[in-house]
Structure 1
Amino acid sequence: MHENEISYAVRKAAYDVHVALGPGLLESAYEGALLHELRLTGLQVQNQVALPMVYKDVRLDVGYRLDLLIENKVIVELKTVDALLDVHHMQLLTYLKLTGCKLGLLINFNVPRIKEGIFRKVNGLTD
């Protein structure tokens, strides 16, 4: 499945979760619900995936975790904040670089309409 197809499935699942739960819950609640919705579609989804960092040829397990990794291709970083900051966007871009994944979605569930909280980030993705 192409990254763009996965992205569409994630956005639909995020919409369904947001309609059902609304804003204002903890990030872990949305993560669990989104994980469930995506698995219902048949996608392979992992949550809280350890992300080691390699620095000067040394592998460092420094506690980074991907919220969701879908089909080993798309990273989903979840937030429940009043406003996304530049650092949230940069965090996802860094995760894409560290993993070699080409597409990531940053989703903030603490918004009135979920479409206002979804941001797509690419790392060399071609159609």
Structure 2
Amino acid sequence: MTENEISRIVFDAGLKIHKKLGAGLFEHVYEECMFYELKRSGYLVEKQKLLPIIYEDLKVENAFRLDMLIENKVILEIKTVDYISPIHKAQLLTYLKMTGCKLGMLLNFQSDIFKNGVTRIVNHL
């Protein structure tokens, strides 16, 4: 399965959740719902995945936490904010670089229209 195929599945699941629940809930609610939708569809999804950073001879355990890693290819970050800021994008791009993943998605469930709250970030390896 390609990153683009996974992103379509993620978008569809997010849209379904947003239509049913609307905006205004805490991030962890949407995260649990996304995890549920993706897992029940049979996808390999890891939630709240802690990853280390290697610096020379030093390994910093639990240096960062991904909201979700899907099929070991796509990083998903869930937000409930008024708008996606440059720091959110920079954070996801850093995660992509540190993991070697090519695609990340920011889903902002606070948006009135779900598609306006979706941002794709690509890691140009």
Distance 1:4 1:57 in 2: 36
After TM superposition, the runs of 4+ consecutive aligned structure 1 residues lying more than 2 A away are none
Structure 2: tracts of 5 or more residues without a match? none
Comparing 51-60 with 65-74, which one deviates more in the overlay?
51-60
**Match for 1:79: what amino acid?**
K
| CA 109–102 in structure 1, closer or farther in 2 if over 3 Å, else same | same
Distance 2:85 2:22 in 1: 21
Distance 1:69 1:100 in 2: 12
Q: 1:63 Cα shift?
A: 4.4
- Given that 2:52 and 2:61 are in contact with CA atoms closer than 8 Å, whether structure 1 keeps it comes out as yes
CA RMSD of aligned residues (A): 1.2
**Cα shift readout 1:34-85 (whole Å, capped 9, x = no counterpart):** 1101112211111000021122342102442100100000000111111211
**Match for 1:7: what amino acid?**
S
- The percent of aligned pairs where both chains have the same amino acid is 50
Q: 1:93 Cα shift?
A: 0.2
Who is 2:67 aligned against?
67
TM-score by length of 1: 0.93
Who is 2:16 aligned against?
16
3-state SS of paired residue (2:6): helix
Who is 2:78 aligned against?
78
**Match for 2:52: what amino acid?**
P
**Match for 2:117: what amino acid?**
G
Distance 2:12 2:93 in 1: 22
| Larger fraction in strand | 2
3-state SS of paired residue (2:7): helix
Distance 1:32 1:44 in 2: 15
**Cα shift readout 1:9-36 (whole Å, capped 9, x = no counterpart):** 0000000010111100000000000110
Who is 1:118 aligned against?
118
Who is 2:46 aligned against?
46
**Match for 1:27: what amino acid?**
E
Who is 1:28 aligned against?
28
Comparing 112-121 with 62-71, which one deviates more in the overlay?
62-71
